[in-house]
Amino acid sequence: MRSSDDCRIAVFVDRCGGALSHLLDEGMITYIRGLPQVVSCEQHEDLSSPQGREELAGRLTEGGADRAVIVGGSPKAYEVSFRRLGLATGLNPYMVLVANVREGVAWVIRDDERAREKAKAIITKKISEAGLLSPILRKQVEVSKEAVVIGGGVVGIRAALALADAHIGVTLLTRARNIGGKAIQLAHFYDRPDDVSPWFMEQVERVTEHPKINVKTSVQLRGFEGYLGDYRVTIQAPPGKREVVRGSAVLLASGHDVVPNTGGIFDHRCFVSPPRMEAMLRDAGKSLVNEKGKPIKTVTFILDLVNETIKIDSANAVKNALLLRGNHDCTVYVVCRDVKVSLDGMEKLYRKARELGVVFVKYDDPPRFSLVNGQVNVEVKEVSTRVMGDEYTLSILSDLVVMSEKFIPSRDNEMLAALLGIPLPQEGYLMDDNPQFTQVRANRRGVFLAGGCRHPETLEEALMEAEAAASGVTQLLSRGIYEYDLAVAEIDPAKCATCLTCPRVCPHSAIVVEKYAPKSIYITAGYGEDFTWRAARVLPTQCYGCGICVSSCPTKAITLKHLTDAEISLHLGI
Amino acid sequence: MEPFSPRIIAFCCDKSGYVAADMAGKLGMSLPESLDVIRVPCAGRIDSFHLLKALENGADGVLIFACHEENCQSLTGNLMVKARMDYVYEIMEKIGLERERLELCNVATNNGAKFAETVRRKCEDLRRLGPNPVK
Amino acid sequence: MRDRDVLIIGGGIAGVTVALELAEMGVPATIVERENPLGGQAGAFACKASEKCNKCFACVVDNQIEEVQRRPHITIMTESALEGVSGEPGQFKAWVRSNGRKTLLDASALIVATGVDFFDARQKPEYGYGIFQNVITAHDLDEMLRSRGGVFRPSDGGIPSKIAFFQCVGSRDETIGHLWCSKVCCAYALRFMRSIRHGNPEIQTSFFYIDIQPLGRSFESLLQSCRQDEGMRLIRSLPSKIYGQRTSTHLRMRFIDPPSGETVEEDFDLVVLSIGMAPRADAEGIATVLGIPKNEEGFYRSPPESSGVFLAGACKGPRDIGSSMVDAKATAQKVVQYLGGI
């Protein structure tokens, strides 16, 4: 507990290169020097410049000051550099406050007299607030260069390779019997003439043989706990024993699922899924034939009945349309709502397809299907026919109709979200698209996401995410230690009623409930031998310092070290 | 007689509101000197009693500048404060304080113009409502 | 690990993100940026939130720029340009001109994050940009929203009542040789419309397009909300010309009204041209200096990793902020592997 009498505040006035000279004149300096507990008040030309900071380095603890207030621009301009400086000079970095009189006063209040009054008010409050500060320690935890990748599709594989090539050991877990996932269904890339298969086999081989990657198949996830530096994933794999896989960070690449088109007319052999189309093109010799050996002359791709805002089917349709025209001389129709060309090179491929005679038919009303003599009749109202005033329906008699299968979130997403303590938004894909997390991070520190578990992406985009997520992991583990300030929430276990509010409201899964004391310390009438006293505890590496738990706790058992209620209350008085 | 200058307390979330306030300055917008900015790490840090205390201590208006929904770095901070405000509105109604004295405004770091405009509009509203009757 | 500085050419969102990622991994970097301040194209974008965040990522760019300036191990040189490079991969020597002085920097890897130019709408004179006051580009609209908080007619400063958004300006266009889709314009225009209508519900907006291009995971809900918004029309017809009028500043255009299939004429008091991205005018120069291959459209293609030259962001082809950041992170990972791992 600090008594105000013990505080010694050093004040540094930043003239911000002259911008604040008229505001921070001699009168102001005198005023500041006269405030209680202020032991010194110096002026500097520009504290946010490297020279200014160097000048300051030696002078932070001048006059035996144990805390400092900077009067100048926004705290955002000083905080990080001053915190580093504080570390170097022995003044705890959290014992420095900034009175914002530039963005907050000089730039927004036109009248000089009023601006001066306001600046005085802000400075006075900040100096009082400085009296309430206490030092916040910097800690570090060891993080081994080990990571766990959950998901054995191409995204998981690519992430594992990216990590392993950066010298991080990886345990790759997959629920399937083999790694590879859905990419095996893809026959050709759209943007290069290579076949997917050799590339794919190479990826699988590299992962299987990499000395730093340990692959475990047929895995069931049974438990998940821990924090950055020490995540523990409990798994069960044949022959059946449970084991705990450890890693400093976790990368989730668990993919998405697909709903096949079945029922009614769609069971007819003329309807094929996109993967089936890939396979037919891959295995076709000179001629393309259906199951009964009948040659396929007319192929129609149906897009946008499902997966309307996903580019995968569109890209594959254009790619395969070109192959069907070029290699098999088929008549090809692509029936869609909008032609999706927002992929590198796709506009050119689309134009090439049109030049080669692929017919693109755009609709507003969904097409209809019927069977006519062993072919499928696709009826669709082309939107541009309205131009002529007559609206007529195209009838496309097709030997093969390629129908998209709906992409849906993985059926495991609910389990994964609950297990990993990350949010599951309504749409069912993991992690809301919060721009603050830039797609590859989860809100739980040390957990990353990539690929189809977030949203179905084309292969190229998903692989990019895999590398980006790997980069996130690499950063955290690169130094072997993770440093953090205890500018976090702290729970007083004696006050904790174990109401479980805080673990539930914490958005970052940073609070656990643990055994706090053996029962022998507290003799509690009416409780049995096995009673253990539990309390909530904040995991300091995981805490983001948001304070949501602080304001939610009914017994006020939680303090936010860098912004206490006392500090806020100081500002609430007028 | 000088028109009354409403005292406004603005709780500004560190990730959005506070930076927007700085940006208002950079854009050269005008802000009243009766505006007091309180910086919080997240709007979720704001408790009902902070809002009530502010009004009890005589603030004519209380503004909360928090991140846009689905843009909160702590995911739910801006939603939490909304829920707490509902509770505060109930109390305000019971004691006869006008609802307009407390408002939540969603901003991003680059919404400096919106910050200034919101403060200006609130000042106008408060001039019309008059000083906080609690004073 | 080859422990010398990495040089990043371009201080837009991609360059800044690579620098931040590398700094976290202990690799020092120098950013060479032609303009001042940092931020590139995206640094000037406005927030496009409506009743909730619309995931435009404009604020993320601002945040990253703030962040990069506070980090140790990242040196920032604004108003600077790369003049020449020599040396073997892994041991580059780069000449940088800064404040009239030439400096020689050592670098173990070079990252090109030079981004794009946006299409100059004057090259489509039929749209009247630069001729009619109330025809503006998306950039002009960003500027208005960012610095003034609202949308105004340039002619008289009044609030418009009917705004038309023209898509594919400078993209998917054979007449100017731009045979690519810029990917972001459909999404940004729809976001603009939502944001503007949220602030001023009486403004009617119309979206003239060829095909709607999805962008990102939240696009589905964005499109849904646009389709349900009665003050927004999505019209699959792109007028070929904008007509001015003698007696008013309104703009007139002819298009095919999809429900009836008839040609109609309609007036708008503000037209926003959704301009697309193109390779930078000076892209050729940098490509030659560094030996970067280009694709048919003129965007860069990744050189072999052994060359020590890496690409990040939209210089490879149009992309949105989110993808540029993901791309930049992926590049950072490749650079770290190239330098020998952590």
> Same structural domain for residues C198 and C287?
no
Is the pLDDT at A416 greater than 50? The verdict is yes
- Domain containing C61 equals 6-115+280-338
Which of C213, C330, C342 has its CB closest to that of A340? C213
Average pLDDT over residues B66-93: 94
Closest in B30, B44, B58 to A108, CB measured: B30
Which candidate from A103, A434, A443 shows the least CB-CB separation from B71? A434
CB contact under 8 A, A438 and C60: yes
pLDDT-derived band at C260, boundaries 50, 70, 90: confident
Higher pLDDT, A286 or C68: C68
Length of chain A in terms of residues written: 574
Q: Which of residues 69-128 of A touch B (CB under 8 A)?
A: 74-76, 100, 102-105, 107-111, 114-115, 117-118
φ, ψ (nearest 5 deg) of residue B92:
-60, -40
At residue C10, does pLDDT exceed 80? Answer: yes
Average pLDDT of span B10-14 = 95
C64 at interface of A, judged by CB pairs closer than 8 A = no
d(CA B81, CA A548): 9
Which among B124, B82, B129, B132 has a CA at the least distance from the CA of B103? B82
C242-243 and C251-257 strand pairing? antiparallel
Q: Any residues with CB less than 8 A from the CB of C180 and at least 6 apart, and which?
A: A344, A345, A347, A348, C171, C172, C297, C317, C318
Residues B61 and B101 sit within 8 Å (Cβ to Cβ): yes
What is the C-alpha to C-alpha distance for residues C283 and C113, in angstroms, rounded to an integer? Answer: 11
| pLDDT of res. A474 | 93
Terminal CA-CA length for chain A? 26
Strands C116-118, C277-279: pairing kind: antiparallel
Instruction: Report pLDDT for A556.
Output: 92
Q: What's the average model confidence in pLDDT over C248-277? A: 91
Q: Of A52-56, A351-355, A496-500, give the range with the top mean pLDDT.
A: A351-355
What residue segments make up the domains of chain A, in order of their start? 4-135, 146-258+408-482, 265-404, 486-572
Render A159-204 in DSSP notation, one character per residue: HHHHHHHTT-EEEEE-SSSSSBGGGGG--B-SSSSSBHHHHHHHHH
Over residues C289-300, mean pLDDT:
92
Q: Is A419 exposed, middle or buried (0-12, 13-18, 19+ CB in 10 A)?
A: middle
Where is the domain boundary, C237, C258, C277?
Answer: C277
Q: Which pLDDT band, with edges at 50, 70 and 90, does A101 fall under?
A: very high
Q: How confident is the model at residue B31 (pLDDT cuts 50, 70, 90)?
A: very high
Distance CA B25, CA A74 (A): 10
Q: Give the span between the Cα atoms of A19 and A33, in whole angstroms.
A: 21
Distance between CA C142 and CA C42 in Å, rounded? 10
Q: Are strands C29-32 and C74-77 parallel, antiparallel or unpaired?
A: parallel
Q: How confident is the model at residue A530 (pLDDT cuts 50, 70, 90)?
A: low
Give the residue, B69 or A86, on which the prediction is more confident. Answer: B69
User: Which residues of C fall within a CB distance of 8 Å from A351?
Assistant: 179
What is the pLDDT confidence band of residue A528, given thresholds at 50, 70 and 90? Answer: low
Helix (H, G, I), strand (E, B) or coil at A385: helix
Q: Are residues C131 and C220 in the same domain?
A: yes
Q: Give the helix/strand (H/E) hosting A511.
A: strand A511-517
The per-residue pLDDT for range A22-71, each reduced to its tens digit, is 899 899 999 999 999 999 998 888 887 777 777 777 777 777 888 999 99
CATH number for domain B8-129, candidates 3.40.50, 1.20.120, 2.60.120, 1.20.1260: 3.40.50
Q: What is the CATH number of domain A486-572?
A: 3.30.70.20
In this structure, the answer to whether residues C131 and C266 fall within a common structural domain is: yes
pLDDT tens digit sequence for C104-115:
999 999 999 999
User: Helix axis angle, B17-26 relative to A75-89, nearest 10°?
Assistant: 110
Site of tokens 């940092």: C38
Q: Which residue has the tokens 């699988």?
A: A204
DSSP secondary structure code for residue A103 in this structure: I
Name the packing angle between helices A459-477 and C321-338 (round to 10°): 60
Q: Are residues C80 and C190 in the same domain?
A: no
Kindly give the interhelix angle for C13-24 and C321-338, rounded to the nearest 10 degrees.
40
Q: Is the pLDDT of residue B135 over 90?
A: no
Judging by beta carbons within 10 Å of its beta carbon (0-12, 13-18, 19+), is residue C246 exposed, middle or buried?
A: exposed
CA distance A49 to B37: 26
Fold of A4-135: Rossmann fold (3.40.50)
> Is residue C150 domain-shared with residue C199, that is, in the same domain?
yes
Q: Which residues pair with A536 in a beta bridge?
A: A513
Which B-chain residues 106-135 have CB contacts (< 8 A) with chain C? 106-114, 116-117
State which H helix or E strand residue C80 sits in.
Answer: strand C80-86
pLDDT tens for residues C13-44? 999 999 999 998 889 999 999 999 999 999 99
Whether pLDDT at B13 is above 70? yes
- 8 Å CB contact between A483 and A534: no
Instruction: Answer yes or no: do C257 and C183 share one domain.
Output: yes
How far B116 CA sits from the closest chain C CA (Å)?
Answer: 9
The band of A531, judged by pLDDT with boundaries at 50, 70 and 90, is low
Give the total number of structural domains in chain C: 2
Peptide bond into C37 cis (omega under 30): yes
Let me know if the fold of A146-258+408-482 is the same as that of A265-404: yes
Q: Check if the beta carbon of residue C75 is closer than 8 Å to that of residue C45.
A: no
pLDDT, position A517: 63
Shortest Cα–Cα distance, B94 to chain A (Å)? 22
Probe site for chain B from A23, A101, A509, A572 (most B CB atoms < 10 A): A572
The verdict on A307 touching B (C-beta cutoff 8 Å) is no
Query: Given this model, what pLDDT does residue A19 score?
Result: 86
Q: What are the strands, taking DSSP E only, across A382-495?
A: 393-398, 400-403, 406-409, 447-449, 481-485, 489-491
At residue A57, the pLDDT reads: 72
Residues C94 and C170 in one domain: no
Query: Complex ipTM, two decimals?
Result: 0.94
For chain C, give the percent of residues with pLDDT over 90: 84
Q: B108 and C66: CB-CB below 8 Å?
A: no
Do residues C51 and C136 both lie within one domain? Answer: no
The verdict on C209 and C312 lying in the same domain is: no
| pLDDT value, residue B2 | 60
- State the CB neighbour count (10 A cutoff) for residue C290: 21
Which amino acid, residue A560?
Answer: L
Highest CATH level, class, for A265-404 = alpha beta
Per-residue pLDDT band for A389 (boundaries 50, 70, 90) equals low
Helix (H, G, I), strand (E, B) or coil at C70: coil
A354-386: pLDDT as tens digits: 999 999 999 999 999 999 999 999 999 988 766
pLDDT for the residue numbered A82: 73
Calculate the average pLDDT of chain A: 89
Question: What is the rounded (10 degree) CA torsion for A535, A540, A541, A544?
Answer: 100
**Which residues touch B112 (CB under 8 Å, ≥6 apart)?**
B20, B21, B22, B23, B24, B25, B26, B27, B29, C146
Would the CB atoms of B30 and A109 count as touching at under 8 Å? yes
Give yes or no for residue A2 having a pLDDT over 90. Answer: no
C234 and C131, same domain (yes or no): yes
Buried b / exposed e over C304-327, threshold 16 CB at 10 Å, is eeebbbbbbbbbbbbbbbbbbbbb
Residues C273 and C302 grouped into a single domain? no
Residues C32 and C97 grouped into a single domain: yes
Q: Are B68 and B105 in contact (CB under 8 A)?
A: no
CATH number for the domain spanning C74: value is: 3.50.50.60
pLDDT value for C1: 43
CATH number of A146-258+408-482: 3.50.50.60
Tokens of A367: 């097409």
Among C224, C246, C277, the domain-final residue is C277
For residue A3, what pLDDT band results from cuts at 50, 70 and 90?
A: very low
Contact C51 B27 (CB under 8 A): no
Edge-to-edge order in the sheet of strand A242-247: A220-227, A230-236, A242-247
Q: How far apart are CA B18 and CA C5, in angstroms?
A: 34
DSSP string, C21-33: HHHHTT--EEEE-
Please choose, from the candidates A385, A293, A281, the residue with its C-alpha nearest in 3D space to the C-alpha of residue A323.
Answer: A281
Task: Check: CB of residue C9 under 8 Å from CB of residue C114.
Answer: yes
